[in-house]
Structure 1
Amino acid sequence: MNQSILFPDVQSWDETTQQIRFPAQRQGALIECVLAVTVLEQLSGQQITSEETAVSIFSQYRFDCEELAEQLIEDEAYNALGQIELVVCN
């Protein structure tokens, strides 16, 4: 893992957008990373039906999500809102 990008052990569930949100820090800047429940389902191969399930599965796949986010941050692949939006590559 690149030590210039840090991932605090924090996450939250956004009910409106059905996303897990988690922060990253790079050179003192806070970067919001977002992961849609549909992407988490693809990554895990499990169906997600509740906030508790989403957070639990995210915890199981956190390292993989951080790896994906790290690569997107290094590539400066920010969305229009300045977030890193994780997607699953086929």
Structure 2
Amino acid sequence: MNQAIIFTDNEEWDPIRNAVVCTALANGFQVHCCISSEVIKARFGFAELPEQFIELFRQYRWDLEDEFEQMILNAEFDSDGWVII
């Protein structure tokens, strides 16, 4: 684990993005990350309700954080500065 990137346990459902969002601290800066409901369903199985998407996120948290971390290290940000899977 890269100690320069730390993920907080504050995941939540974003109805506008239709995604689970979380926050990382990278070298002291806050980075917003999200994974869309479509990707969660495709990778991890059935979900319909926000609570189900959050539960699947929590089950696969370590893998997702590893993926977000690589994207942060590679500076794969969208135009708003978010890291999106």
Extract unaligned runs of 5+ from structure 1.
none
1:2 matches 2:2 = yes
The list of structure 1 runs, each at least 4 consecutive aligned residues, that deviate by more than 4 angstroms after superposition, is none
**1:16 Cα offset (Å):** 2.3
Partner of 1:63: 62
Give the match's secondary structure for 2:31. Answer: strand
Matched residues in 2 for 1:78 and 1:16: separation?
Answer: 19
The one-letter code matched in structure 2 to 1:68 is: E
The one-letter code matched in structure 1 to 2:48 is: T
Matched residues in 1 for 2:27 and 2:2: separation?
Answer: 12
Partner of 1:76: 75
Question: TM-score, normalising length from structure 2?
Answer: 0.95
**1:47 Cα offset (Å):** 1.5
Q: What is the aligned-residue RMSD (CA, Å)?
A: 0.8
Question: TM-score, normalising length from structure 1?
Answer: 0.90
Extract unaligned runs of 5+ from structure 2.
none
**1:17 Cα offset (Å):** 2.0
The one-letter code matched in structure 1 to 2:80 is: L
**1:9 Cα offset (Å):** 1.0
1:17 matches 2:21 = no
Identity %, equivalent residues: 27
Aligned residues: 85
Q: How far does the alpha carbon of each residue in 1:21-47 deviate from its partner, in whole angstroms, 9 at most, with x for none?
A: 000001110000011011111221x12
